[in-house]
Structure 1
């Protein structure tokens, strides 16, 4: 299921312009982290012990993750998963440059920080937010705490390509975020992904925390945190539901540009992109 970044901002925004820039049509090589998941099948040399050569090949379905809402398709759990080398494990150990260590950001609304989710501490509040009708309309995770837990566990127990976080503003948890590797996600099948593209999903919990530019402020702060702490990331991307006009408007106001309409399995989305090279101008 792909969330629509519910209630990032109040009020309708302008219709997003269509981006025709050529920069989103480049074909780039797969990132090293993804290639490290698999080793190409190589015939053993004469006299060589074939059992010493991993018999793995890169599947056509390379952008696989079960970690984020845009990643509703299951990952490859076949025999190859049990034959990853120590090098592969090392490459996967830090896919998002440790969001827990990113530190706080000063915003007009107060000091903001991303705090990685701990299930035993945070499940109740996240589940309560998911049951807000305005949030549930896009995230589709209303129900008991078990529903929210089933959504969080694949990320918490995964390889680190998606990290769920609470957004804490002035010491108060008030939003939920998912920071994920868009280039390692099924989303990458639907747009020209580049190595280290970093995606974000969010919801703002509580009616009192919405509006007054809160979504725009937080989106800019979090995308700045990504760009400041992930030097290899050139773009922050998001894919809110096209029907969620307030969300799309908040992204535009936060320095993202509308890149394309994208047909995802569960929604028609607006692909929003914030470029490192233009962050000072937007």
Structure 2
């Protein structure tokens, strides 16, 4: 499936759709047709045992020293610091809204996404900033009510719809972390970084331990259709592989009908692996392999 277009659209790798009847959401239940899901076991309802959580914590604890040579919250060696980030979302781990506290980094199941720090890309300096519900709901709500976004994410409606969607992740066990994508100090995209091997998606493909999934939407119309999605997908996938040593693959499952989205993943270093039937959609399983990252 060769890429036909470097552009990306707002519906990249559609996020979980809230089930108004059960209050649950499923990362795998995607697509624009509101077909009823037969998969009632939700990502955030699959509770881990205390023993398994302890095992994951011990695994990440063994790698605490892997980030030597970086600042406390992940500013890369040689990356601009200080003044460049002093008033932006990338301020060396500080809250861009003025709070003296660092971004939350307790999401051990994903090796502390909040501490990954900024990355240089051809489009500018980019950083994933974990969402804070009271601070960011209005912005994400506006993006979700864009018709191009709503077609695939299905989170349009009152602000409470988005707030509930974010809260289920923020109150979870850290297997899914919602983030703003901040480019040169400006929030311009919404991301969900999640443990695909702990997600219902894992029932639909041969998952491996620590597989990490990504969902993405580009917020502004002006940022769509010019290859920016591909650039950021490559940057975020590389951050996952750099910051999560146990992860060998980054995965995504955009709707097959969303040609610009599939193309963006292909141009961003992912390969097409298979077509998979998920509740609500037929998806393209996209994979970026650690072993092939320098070849694609």
SS at match of 2:128: strand
- Report the equivalent of 2:234: 220
**Is the 1:241–1:270 Cα contact (8 Å) retained in structure 2?**
yes
- TM-score w.r.t. the length of structure 1 is 0.72
SS at match of 2:246: coil
Quickly say closer, same or farther: Cα 1:67–1:104, change in 2 above 3 A: farther
Runs of 4+ in structure 1 off by over 2 angstroms are 66-78, 87-93
- Report the equivalent of 2:276: 262
- Report the equivalent of 1:253: 267
- Report the equivalent of 2:54: 90
1:1-282 matched pairs, under 5 angstroms? 9=8, 69-70=27-28, 73-74=41-42, 84-85=49-50, 87-91=51-55, 94-282=108-296
Q: 1:70 offset after TM fit, Å?
A: 2.5
Q: 1:77 offset after TM fit, Å?
A: 6.5
In the alignment, structure 1 segments of 5+ residues that lack a partner are 1-6, 11-65
Q: 1:210 offset after TM fit, Å?
A: 1.1
Q: How many residues align?
A: 217
Q: Based on CA coordinates, which of the two structures has the bigger radius of gyration?
A: 1
Q: 1:8 offset after TM fit, Å?
A: 6.4
Once residues 132 and 7 of structure 2 are traced to their aligned partners in structure 1, the CA distance between those partners, rounded to angstroms, is 23
CA RMSD of aligned residues (A): 2.2
SS at match of 1:95: helix
In the alignment, structure 2 segments of 5+ residues that lack a partner are 1-5, 10-23, 30-39, 58-107
Once residues 274 and 207 of structure 1 are traced to their aligned partners in structure 2, the CA distance between those partners, rounded to angstroms, is 27
Q: 1:200 offset after TM fit, Å?
A: 0.2
Q: 1:117 offset after TM fit, Å?
A: 0.4
